[in-house]
A and B are shown apart, each in its own frame.
Chain A
Amino acid sequence: MSRRKFLKQSSYLAMGFLTYPAFAKAFSVSSSKDVIIGHNAHQYKVNLNWGNLNPSQTPVNDCHEMVQDSKGRIVLLTNHTKNNVIIYDKSGKLIETWGTEYPGAHGLTLVKENGTDFLFITDYERHQIIKTTIDGKVVFKIDAPLETGKYTNKEDFKPTETTVTKNGDIYVADGYGKQYITHYNHKGELLNIFGGQGTENGQFLNAHGICYDYRDSDNPSLLITARELNQLKRFDLDGTFIETIPVPGALICRPVIHKNDIYFAVLRSKNAVHDDSGFILIMNEKNEVVSCPGATAPSYRNNELDELYQTIRLFQHPHDVCIDDDENMYVAQWNSGQTYPIKLTRV
């Protein structure tokens, strides 16, 4: 039985009890209270039923990534080829779906060009990056960068994420392939390649997510996760390594910048008994972890962050987060029983 089904059945059971007046009072005191997760200024109530759809009509496999478009709609990317893209309103109501040709649909990035929304999809099974309009028309594709000499065949290229800078340059993280970061101009022409597999400063184990950090407008940079290393790494736009920010215990998927903070879905806790031990992590502009919904409260000793780990079995394998214009969060999950995203309402 899936977690969501189980929770739903438990709540039906609870409602059943309520119909007996004798239990009503006891129940209202002991159990009828919304629980809150997270720490400091980032605390949330949890809605497990948000975005639930009829799986026979609008199914999902892994819910990989989510973004909010200019109209305020929530766009979900799944690797189910009946409907790779599912578009919701903020209340979780289905608006439309499209996409049947992205079996390895993984990374989803929204770009605004002169007021028009475009999407970048990475597909690790097609070994491609596909730029589309917001309603799914293909604009162009980028294939494996064989001309760099780092790849001998296209199957070695399994891109997981893209990010686009202010001038339209595109960076691609090959998180399931050879761990290189490739840099293209806005037309998709190759400019640079850096990174690669390893544990050195400028290298990655699972370069899963990448994000353009424009918070310091004088010194824009790239934030890239090394998920297996439990690290976030910063590079300049030319690919020169700047710093490593360790997040012990947390397998961070991709950095998502919203206002001054960075939000991460954490796939799982490094040393957990169960695999489905994920949570959410929020870092402020000083790179300090300030809240971990579903996990231990972040604490520092001699400027070193203590190991973070799941404390409540709420999330299974969070894979991406999207923060909307109301500061609420949507959590897309990988390998979590074909469940739809979870919405967190900030309190």
Chain B
Amino acid sequence: MRIAILSILLISILSCAEKTTPIDSVFVQQQQVSITQPRVTATSTIIDSAVTITAALALEDVGIYYTTDGTAPTENNTKYTTPLTVEKEGSYSFKAFHADWKPSETTTLKLYKKGIIPRKLFWNTKPNSKYPGIDSITLMNHTKGSVNFRDTQWVGYDTTAIATMYFKYKPRIKNITIGYLIDTKSWIFPPEAVEVYINKTHRIRYNVSNIPKGELKKLEDFQIPINRNVETMTIRVYNSKLPEWHPGKGMNAWLFMDEWIFNE
């Protein structure tokens, strides 16, 4: 019994001696602060044949792991070593791990498949003169915007956006992807609703429900199911009102869109 007590004492003394620093250290300890999320870029986020994704975080001994199914990466996933060439649309997520620092937030890059291009496009309303995009086909130029609303890939409206499109050979369109920006500090919110008029015979209304509940800045999109052969289509995207919590509550929110994709 005495020996047992002695060994317990000895073990606890030894384990104390192993500590590199007393625990009452005033300094920041390992695994107390997070790493910055990896910088992820792609040659294009709309895939024609293939794109190349690069992830970077210039921190010594960092390990970046990734997934291709939209889940948050762990150190059990594939380790990123060289740029990835991908052909498939979807969400590619990257997260950084390090012995000294807590894991980073996840950076997710969403890739889209290139859609059908309308034969003719006619704008019934004009964007705000400050945010006209590059030209009248900015929403169909296969290029997404960045999180910076001043990026000319964004077309900004403070009213309803209405456009009419004509398609050659009446292709079957499965759905439409509408890409938009949320930047609540800059009064940029998701649209309130979208109405799609197909071949002058059908009308689809799509209500957008994800109103941000606090400060947020990110790229978003939604898909509106169509499942029809389409000759003509009119799209009306309604801008929303600023919510109760926002300093500008009740006033018109900005609507910023970067791309409309007509998926087969």
Contact = CB atoms under 8 A, between A and B. Distances in A.
A35 B15 contact: no
* Residue among A30, A33, A46, A272 with max Cβ neighbours from chain B (10 Å): A33
Nearest to A48: B28
Interface in A265-319: 271-274, 277, 296-297, 299, 306, 309-314
B36 A25 contact: no
B12 interface: yes
A28 B19 contact: yes
Contact of B27 (A14, A46, A309, A311): A46
Interface string A27-38: 011111111000
Contacts of B21: 32-34
Given A21-B12, A31-B30, A297-B58, A312 B101 contact: yes
18 contacts: A14-B29, A15-B23, A28-B16, A29-B18, A31-B32, A32-B20, A34-B25, A35-B28, A35-B29, A35-B30, A50-B26, A277-B36, A311-B36, A312-B34, A312-B101, A313-B34, A314-B28, A314-B33
A24 interface: yes
B33 A311 contact: no
A151 B19 CA distance: 63
Contact of A32 (B19, B34, B57, B100): B19
Contacts of A152: none
* Residue among B23, B31, B36 with max Cβ neighbours from chain A (10 Å): B36
Nearest to A34: B27
B29 A31 contact: yes
B23 A273 contact: no
Interface in A1-48: 7, 10-11, 14-15, 18, 21, 24-25, 28-35, 45-48
B36 A272 contact: yes
Shortest 9 CB-CB contacts between residues of A and residues of B: A28-B19, A34-B27, A296-B58, A46-B28, A311-B59, A45-B27, A25-B15, A313-B34, A33-B30
Given A18-B23, A28-B15, A28-B18, A34 B36 contact: no
A311 B58 contact: yes
- Interface residues of chain B: helix, strand, loop or mixed (majority): loop
B30 to A, nearest CB: 5
A244 interface: no
A297 B57 CA distance: 11
Interface of A: 7, 10-11, 14-15, 18, 21, 24-25, 28-35, 45-50, 271-274, 277, 296-297, 299, 306, 309-314, 345
The interface size bin for chain B is 20 to 34
B33 A32 contact: no
B53 interface: no
B1 to A, nearest CB: 19
A296 B57 CA distance: 8
A310 B28 contact: no
B45 interface: no
Interface of B: 12, 15-16, 18-21, 23, 25-37, 39, 57-60, 62, 100-101, 107, 147
* Residue among B33, B37, B62 with max Cβ neighbours from chain A (10 Å): B33
A164 to B, nearest CB: 35
A79 B23 CA distance: 36
Contacts of A10: 32
Given A35-B100, A35-B101, A313 B58 contact: no
Nearest to B101: A312
* Residue among A7, A24, A34, A306 with max Cβ neighbours from chain B (10 Å): A34
A28 B23 CA distance: 8
A48 B26 CA distance: 8
A300 to B, nearest CB: 13
Nearest to B107: A273
Contacts of A28: 15-16, 18-20, 23
A299 B57 CA distance: 14
A296 B58 CA distance: 6
A310 B57 CA distance: 9
Contacts of B29: 11, 14, 31-35
B15 A312 contact: no
Given A273-B107, A309-B36, A30 B28 contact: no
Contact of B18 (A25, A274, A306): A25
Contacts of A35: 27-30, 32-33, 100-101
